[in-house]
Amino acid sequence: MKKPSLIVRFTKNLLLFGSLFIILSIVVDWYRKPTAPAQFADQVLYDVAQQPKIIAQLSHNQPMLLYFWGSWCHFCEYTSPAVQKFAEQGSPVLSVALKSGSAAEVQGYLADNRYTFSVINDPNGQLSKQWGIQATPTILIIKNGQIINHTTGLTSYWGLKIRLWLAGFV
């Protein structure tokens, strides 16, 4: 009996491990699911530039990204450029800097990295705790004040793009 070729075995293993990775990612996201505080959509939050931000307004008739990150988070170094790209393209983005220092330190970090998305400073982690954030980065996709999707950990631009596109149909 002839053994399967190396390419066939490689393809089978790739599909098997790819499927296991996807299943594991879904389980981890489910376990880390944030819990939104009551009336979160109408709460007025102030960014580091002291501009008021209301999630219900930002997510009205279009999906928005709510991005929890930290200047100390290594995975955020890879996710933040993708979030920045959405902000540059005009998608509503609001982020929360978790335990990343004073407002001035957060603004310095944003300037050093050329990030222009809106940032709420959460120096003590109180806001993140209200949301039940267990890991950074955590990204929530919100439309019309409702959480449509979420993910934790390393996320690509295209992964977010697909999630935002799908949220547009909800």
> Do 73 and 107 lie in a common domain?
yes
Write out pLDDT tens, residues 56-68: 898 988 999 999 9
| Beta bridge mates, 138 | 68, 152
- The vertex-66 CA angle with 60 and 67, nearest 5°, equals 160
| Beta bridge mates, 95 | 67, 119
Write out pLDDT tens, residues 62-85: 999 999 999 999 999 999 999 999
- Containing structural domain, residue 26: 1-32
Q: Tell me which DSSP letter residue 149 carries.
A: E
> Do 27 and 46 lie in a common domain?
no
Q: What is the pTM of this model?
A: 0.81
Q: How many domains does the chain have?
A: 2
**Element at 64 (helix H, strand E):** strand 64-69
Q: Residue 44 corresponds to which tokens in the numbers above?
A: 């007025």
> Do 28 and 44 lie in a common domain?
no
- With 0-12 / 13-18 / 19 or more C-beta atoms within 10 angstroms meaning exposed / middle / buried, residue 16 is exposed
> Do 27 and 59 lie in a common domain?
no
Domain of residue 66, CATH code? 3.40.30.10
> Do 62 and 136 lie in a common domain?
yes
Q: Residue 17 corresponds to which tokens in the numbers above?
A: 């491990």
Q: What is the pLDDT of residue 82?
A: 96
